[in-house]
Amino acid sequence: MSPTIGVLALQGDVREHARALESCGAGAVPVRRARELAGVDALVLPGGESTTIDKLLRAFDLFDPVQDRLRAGMPAYGSCAGMILLADRLLGAAEGQQTLGGLDITVRRNAFGRQVDSFESDLVIDGIDGSDTQPVHAVFIRAPWVEEVGPAATVLARVVAGPAAGRIVAVRQGSLLATSFHPEVTGDMRVHRLFVKIVRDSL
């Protein structure tokens, strides 16, 4: 069965995520309205600026519908700002900033620094076959990291070298997946393939 996965199309790498999902055998549609959300099996929350996406979710009357679907068990994948939106707890939040929640994690916003501090790293990711011998090349752009993981969530990857060594950058909790990095920009589809499998298994 080919699932239909929405990509929240308020900000960020919407087209790149859609192409990656389609290359993994899923249908991909942009989501800007509640009626579009109602027609998808799962949702990708792309990178961007988390405070702006939070405000746009409210402006488009999407915050409550997305949160309701997440609480009802809809699979979701958040990359970078999407990880922030899925976190239950947030450090360094802007005034009034809220998250959709769902992941039992504490995320530090802009943890790796400013745009000029963006970097790349190779990762071994649990759940991705072959990443121990062919690591996933990860691109971090003004990225968050996971400061703390609660008992409901599972760590999938940590940075292995450099000043951020040991920092948690990928987590999963049931049908929710989140990464600090942007797999949609590298051409490596393995993270999206993992998410499509999570979605298929949930149907």
H-type helices in the chain, by residue range? Answer: 14-23, 34-37, 50-59, 63-71, 81-86, 190-202
List, by residue number, the catalytic residues.
80, 182, 184
Residue-level length of the chain: 203
Element (H, E) at 7: strand 4-8
Q: What is the Cα–Cα distance from 6 to 52, expressed in whole angstroms?
A: 19
Give yes or no for a contact between 143 and 80, defined as CB atoms under 8 angstroms apart: yes
Indicate the burial class of 79 (C-beta count within 10 angstroms; 0-12, 13-18, 19 or more).
buried
Q: What is the Cα–Cα distance from 118 to 139, expressed in whole angstroms?
A: 8
